[in-house]
Amino acid sequence: MAAVSEKRTKKRPAASDAAPKSKKVHLDKKEKSSNDKGKKRSVPVTLPIIEDAGLSSDEGFEDEQAARESHKAQRVLHDQRRAAKPHSALLVEAKEAWALARQKNLSKEERTKHVHALMEVIRGKVRDIVFKHDASRIVQTAVKYGGQKERNEIAVELKGKYKELAQNKYSKFLVTKLVRLCPAHRQSILLEFQGSVLRLLLHREASSVLADAFELYANAYERSLLLRDFYGKEASLFSLTAGSEDEKERSKKGMKGLIEGADKERKKRVMNAVKDNLTTIFNNPDKGAVSHAIVHRALWEYLVAVNDLEDEADREKLRREIFESCQDVLAEMVHTKDGSRVVREFIAQGTAKDRKHIVKTIKPHVERMCKDDEAQLVLFTAFDIIDDTKLTAKSLVADIVSSASTLYSSPQGRRSLMYLVSPRTRRHFTPAQISLLAETDAIRAQTRKGSEVVRDPGGSLIITEIMLYAEGDKTAASETLLKALTLPYPSADFSNPHLMSLPHSSRVYKTLLQGGPFSHTDKAIVRSPSFSPVEFAKRFVRIVGQENTLAMAKDDGAFVVAVLCERAKESEDNELKDVLKTWFSGDVRKELEEDKERRGRAVLLEQLAVLSIS
């Protein structure tokens, strides 16, 4: 200890003599550092400044020497560890070829040459290295700059690994590239996801892979492969032979093709599976799957299936359940075609409370919705359908007007402003856009309770005029009116009689079946060129059905049914005539003849005779 102390004492004068020089050097470095502002600071500015501990220059040199030796040892250890890893030599060689192939300023010939060299290194080893961060980028470069031959080679090598690759934060980008650039292998890649689509959609890494594949690159049949998992086990148990043309055509129809011709129980099982799977996604909004087009397509298919159910109570129950499960995430759907259609359907079918909730959900996003082709249709439908003008003015219109200065510069923004002034005008909206908006008109008519309008004497006159003389497709409106006749006839509730028991209401149906009103001046029916009574008669038979039609014929609806038979004679095909012949043959005809004096019975029998019903 004394020796060490003596040694330090002897050195101290030398250090003292060198001190001025050391201090000068120290100040020069400090000045140089302060003047050289372009360099990055070696330590964060938030750390406190450490005062000079008074060590000699020799001690500082020793510390620097020790640090240098330590770093050198660490570097050697790192190289040893890297060399011990599998395929280390391969990766070193691949990186050298990759560095050349990925350069930006290369001619086509040079790049092709380097890509071929890269493929020579990784060929047959792609599956072994692709999950590594740096190696994944190497393979992506080969796919990006290589020809179709090289891309297909890599796609074949990775067969059977795509589900695992999609869940890796590095290799997921490679899967998306292969889906986009290898159409011949796209179907086989997507087939590897089957059975795991729902889980992958909720996976942090894989979700975007499936979303991009479905929305950007897949064709109709390939999309159906991804959608099939939503339909549950029923889809695999009852699908036809995989790959057959028949199966492909049915698959393109999605859920509708799967349940087409199925019995009631099977439809119920499929619909329950879709509802449960969608609910799982809606209950996990933080996973991001609710914003993907594949989810919106599955939801739209489900709503279509619900609308096709015969029982109105079942329709309302299922629609209510699915709406309640997704009502808080509807703003995440408005940007896709199917998502926009779903939200518009909920607006059209929903109650006043539902619509208010939807408006509240989309309100924070109004300006961005105005600039999106699909999302703005949701706003337009809200303007068309929601009767609460105070709600729309305060929550939607005010935000659009306040954003006018940023909206007018884009075509979508201008349309949003124009709709407030001239909705659906052909000067600013294409026929396709108007047609899309018209999709909810039929539902709008139902929500406005069209049967109640027909029940009102004044309303029945308006309905007749609109149906006969308004321009446009009246299919949906016709079906709404005819569905009102499907209630049991006669009504058991005397305070709420069936429409056919009300003179002014039954006159509406008679006039529409005639094709126009009776003119007392001309003593003839004046047909409207804008309405087809024969088509209305066909829908009458299909929707109202045999039971109610016969019941009406035997009671207050005899005149209406007589005109129905009269239209059957005008039909170009014999289908309508044959149906009525079947309905009114045998005992039914005899029952009508037993009471010929009853009101309208003679006219009906006369028309039946013309149809040769015996």
What integer pLDDT is reported at residue 452 of this predicted model? 63
pLDDT over threshold 90, residue 161: yes
Q: Confirm whether pTM is higher than 0.75.
A: no
Q: Supply the DSSP symbol for 397.
A: I
**H-helix or E-strand containing 518?**
strand 518-519
pLDDT over threshold 50, residue 66: yes
Phi, psi dihedral angles at 555 (to 5 degrees): -140, -130
pLDDT over threshold 70, residue 26: no
Residue ranges of domains in the chain: 83-192, 449-610
**H-helix or E-strand containing 15?**
helix 2-35
Angle at 574 between CA 483 and CA 583, to 5 degrees: 55
- In 202-292, which residue ranges form alpha helices assigned H by DSSP? 206-212, 220-227, 233-238, 245-252, 255-259, 264-282
* Least confident span in 18-32, 71-85, 115-129, 132-146: 18-32
Give mean pLDDT, residues 578-599: 83
CA 88 from chain center: how many Å?
45
Please name the residues in contact with 289: beta carbons below 8 A apart, sequence gap of 6 or more.
201, 202, 207, 211, 281, 295
What integer pLDDT is reported at residue 419 of this predicted model? 87
- Grade residue 535 by pLDDT with cuts at 50, 70 and 90: very high
List of long-range contacts for 587-595, beta carbons under 8 Å, 24+ apart: 588/550, 589/613, 589/614, 591/554, 592/553, 592/554
Phi, psi dihedral angles at 518 (to 5 degrees): -85, 130
* Spatial separation of the C-alpha atoms in residues 179 and 243, rounded to whole Å: 19
Which of left, alpha, beta for 472 (phi over 0: left; psi -120 to 50: alpha)?
left
CA dihedral 244→259→327→198, nearest 10 degrees, is -40
pLDDT over threshold 90, residue 273: yes
Tokens 């560095």 correspond to: 99
Angle at 529 between CA 524 and CA 532, to 5 degrees: 90
CA dihedral 348→430→215→319, nearest 10 degrees, is 10
* Spatial separation of the C-alpha atoms in residues 512 and 530, rounded to whole Å: 11
Range picked from 354-358, 454-458, 503-507 for highest mean pLDDT = 354-358
Residues in the chain: 614
* Least confident span in 2-16, 73-87, 230-244, 516-530: 2-16
* Spatial separation of the C-alpha atoms in residues 285 and 132, rounded to whole Å: 30
E strand segments, 362-437: none
- Grade residue 49 by pLDDT with cuts at 50, 70 and 90: very low
Q: Does residue 560 contact residue 509 with C-beta atoms inside 8 Å?
A: yes
The tens digit of pLDDT for each residue in 412-443 reads 999 998 888 778 888 788 888 888 888 887 66
pLDDT over threshold 70, residue 79: no
Tokens matching residue 215: 């929305």
* Spatial separation of the C-alpha atoms in residues 100 and 601, rounded to whole Å: 94
In the three-class reduction of DSSP (H, G, I as helix; E, B as strand; rest coil), residue 524 is classed as strand
pLDDT over threshold 70, residue 40: no
Q: Roughly what angle, to the nearest 10 degrees, separates helices 148-157 and 133-145?
A: 140
What integer pLDDT is reported at residue 168 of this predicted model? 92
What integer pLDDT is reported at residue 216 of this predicted model? 94
Average pLDDT taken over every residue of the chain: 82
Which is nearest to 379 in space by CA: 424, 431, 419?
A: 419
For the chain, give percent helix, strand, coil, nearest 5: 70, 0, 25
Tally of CB atoms within 10 A around 26: 13
Tokens matching residue 572: 């170009």
Phi, psi dihedral angles at 157 (to 5 degrees): -60, -35
Tally of CB atoms within 10 A around 400: 21
Which is nearest to 379 in space by CA: 388, 387, 390, 367?
A: 367
Q: CA of 262: how far to CAs of 242, 445, 556, in Å? A: 19, 30, 38
490 prior amide bond cis, ω within 30:
yes
Q: Which residues, listed in sequence order, are joined to residue 519 by a DSSP beta bridge?
A: 524
- Grade residue 20 by pLDDT with cuts at 50, 70 and 90: very low
Buried b (16+ CB within 10 A) or exposed e, 360-389: ebbeebbeebbbbebbbbbbbbbbbbbeee
pLDDT over threshold 90, residue 359: yes
CA 530 from chain center: how many Å?
37
Tally of CB atoms within 10 A around 112: 16
Q: Taken in order 423, 426, 428, 434, is the CA torsion positive or negative?
A: positive
The tens digit of pLDDT for each residue in 460-471 reads 887 888 788 877
Q: Does residue 565 contact residue 559 with C-beta atoms inside 8 Å?
A: no
CA 22 from chain center: how many Å?
72
Tokens matching residue 149: 């031959």
| Alpha-carbon Rg for the chain in angstroms | 38
* Spatial separation of the C-alpha atoms in residues 130 and 135, rounded to whole Å: 6
* Spatial separation of the C-alpha atoms in residues 462 and 460, rounded to whole Å: 5
Q: Roughly what angle, to the nearest 10 degrees, separates helices 88-101 and 133-145?
A: 40
- Grade residue 162 by pLDDT with cuts at 50, 70 and 90: very high
* Spatial separation of the C-alpha atoms in residues 56 and 175, rounded to whole Å: 59
In the three-class reduction of DSSP (H, G, I as helix; E, B as strand; rest coil), residue 355 is classed as helix
Can you count the helices (H) and strands (E) in the chain? Answer: 38, 2
Which is nearest to 443 in space by CA: 322, 576, 578, 342?
A: 342
Tally of CB atoms within 10 A around 129: 18
